[in-house]
Structure 1
Amino acid sequence: MRIDIITCLPKLLEGPFSDSILKRAQEKGLAQIVVHDLRKYSTNKHHKIDDYAFGGGAGMVLQIEPVANAIEDLKSQRTYDEVIYMSPDGERFNQNIANELSLKGNLIILCGHYKGVDERIRTHFITRELSIGDYVISGGELAAAVVSDAVVRLLPGVLNDETSALTDSFQDGLLAPPVYTRPADYKGLKVPDILLSGHEKNIEKWRFEKAVEKTKERRPDLLK
């Protein structure tokens, strides 16, 4: 998989992609994440990429020309399955979408900034819009990192134990059950006996029941 991220703040993405699972995925050759500085696609001598909104109002808007130049340049080099725009009013990102995107080959993610991007980009260049929640952050960079992480960790071979991703919260429509590790008794706080029994069938039944119980308590909407 290759993910190309277009942003006006490329340094903001250096940390998330240079450590942990995303770093290992790239070192293994299982994923390639390339960050592109939007300012390099500006034809303005000052590398300007934003301007005032027509009709007035507060805030600046990303111009159509540099964004279109960036997308067209990337698409001239390879075929992309999706051109995604990170926006507060996009489709709410969830595990099902992460699963779906993990089956794709090449993705472009455009990071929103300021008051957003010229609507003509959204109408003519974007194939999907995603949001990570009903709140506003300073730009789409951190949201793009969230989407990239959620997708790349699902690729075969990225996690040391491939079954790990299959037992994450939301994969089966439920929150994950409680987990415990050593010591079995910490100052009188004990691990449930069932987890120490070695009886795999009973343990799985207990985990399922606890997952349903937690989901009913914390996210009853998932059970609908």
Structure 2
Amino acid sequence: MRVALFVTCVNDTLYPRTGQAVVTLLERLGVGVDFPLAQSCCGQPQFNTGYRRETVPLARRYAEVFEEYEYIVTPSGSCAAMVRDNHPKLGAKGAAARTYELTEFLTDVLEVTDVGAYYPHTVTYHPTCHGLRMLKLGDRPRRLLQAVQGLELRELEGAEECCGFGGTFAVKNPDVSAAMGADKARHIEDTGASAVCTVDNSCLMHIGGTLSRRDSGVRPVHLAEILASTEGDVW
């Protein structure tokens, strides 16, 4: 099984520990992971802003860089959705069907839910829009969380409502974005959980920033970091 990590721009630049957590987790499950250094942006910011022509070289580069791999795993629902749904429309079909968001790869390919994780905290889960609506992840992330030793999963009111980030939406419509983020933060705080997790650090950045401005004690954490945690080595 040849597996490559597509770390994404946001994780590479701002949340490198998430990419490290994916490698730690997969290696613990017996999966060797390559990291092609030539990888770059999947083109989602350009595509979503309307620069379709400028996205094409990025989509083709992705297909070329990951051509030799049987599976490409990414800790980002939005980037996985971009590759799978939009790259073929741009004429870059090669690697699209072999790209998996992390929880899909764990549950559908490796067929595991208990990954040997230990995370002794109360956690609530926010299903991100791309993961929920485009990838249709369903209960995959929840099943993985429910199998984590020591973790208590708290239900989140309005879980399927957008957090307000939406990529460039947050820049173009800051007031609406902030109001949506405040609603999400309030619901998260109401759970009494000590941590909130998602499958997308872009959404988690927006949620975490809102929680921080509210002086909330809730910690934002990517699902990969929870699943990589073990007793004595909590990420």
The normalised TM-score by structure 1 is 0.31
* Larger relative strand fraction: 1
* Larger relative helix fraction: 2
Computing the radius of gyration from Cα coordinates, the structure with the larger value is: 1
